[in-house]
Amino acid sequence: MYRSKIKGLGYYVPENVVTNDDLSKLMDTSDAWIQERTGIKERRHVVKGTDTTTTMGAKAALKALEAAGVSKEEVDFVVFATLSPDYYFPGCGVLVQKELGLKTVGALDIRNQCSGFLYALSVADQYIKTGMYCNILVIASETQSPALDMSTRGRNMAVLFGDGAGAAVVSRSEGENGILSTHLHSEGAYADALAMIAPGVGTKWVPEILAENDPDDVSYYPNMNGQFVFKNAVVRLAEVINEGLEANGLTVGDIDMLVPHQANLRISQFVQHQFKLSDAQVYNNIMKYGNTTAASVPIALAEAVGEGKIKEGDVVVLAAFGSGFTWASAIIRW
């Protein structure tokens, strides 16, 4: 059986920087209030008519392909993770295939929100290990800002999220280094604790939406039971990290770098404290980008590698928790 390896990484974020002070002009909040609760200082928002989920994903993908030394003609398959697709259907997988001018390869869409990249990475890992494909393009991209309630009513969500994309080229390898294992979980009992209910054909049909056109219907905006999500996140992240370590005969002492989903700096710090990891062993960039949902792990991983904080042979742990609830981890020998 083959080993799969992340051969190249890339990321893209919009140029438009939105600071906490910028948000304080739109809603009752402040830089101090946001930083104290989330650790976020600024985030990136797309400008209408420029970036889309697909185009950002394509830009990140091109950087990943260049870093991997893999041509577009060598891509066998595409896995695209997002909660903010350009169309209700079809998904962004086929749209990015068109955008990049790829061959008529298969394109798969993943809808696992904050855990999306790790679910997508796991899918790619299985395809590589079975020998079905040699080079898989894994993309996670999010355009969330247009869906946010940018008023005091929606500030608890609006201050958190940003736009951006990350990508990885996952390739066949016969060496010992690479993805050692991935671990996926879900608990749909708490789906409504972090969700965007409408528009959805299970709740409202398009004619109803057009007829009502109710600006006060909060179901059209993302909503979250923040404290409940926080409590579940810290428990599940610890569990899934330990699960991955145990599956590979590793201990916390073997971790060289933990790259957690960038949901809230306080969550990352809580997990770091649980595992007694130093600041040098945990990579966070939520301060600059906010929560970019599925894109947060590949963006952070690409930055960590680019800054030389991950070297060959390091044990790298990726972990995420989010809407669904879904959570996941990946253990990698770099």
Active site residues: 114, 261, 291
Distance CA 132, CA 97 (A): 19
Q: Please tell me whether the peptide bond between 146 and the residue prior to it is cis, using omega within 30 degrees of 0.
A: no
Q: Which residues have C-beta within 8 Å of that of residue 208, sequence separation ≥ 6? A: none
For β-strands 106-110 and 77-81, DSSP reports them as parallel
Q: Which residues have C-beta within 8 Å of that of residue 199, sequence separation ≥ 6? A: 206, 209, 220
- State how far the alpha carbon of 190 is from the alpha carbons of 195, 222, 232, in Å: 10, 15, 10
> 321, 305 in Cβ contact below 8 A?
no
> 189, 167 in Cβ contact below 8 A?
no
User: Which segments within 160-301 are labelled E, that is strand?
Assistant: 164-173, 178-186, 194-195, 223-224, 257-260
Q: Which residue has the tokens 């299985």?
A: 126
Nearest CA to 180 out of 133, 246, 275 is that of: 246
- Any idea what the Cα angle at residue 205 is, between residues 203 and 208, rounded to 5°? 105
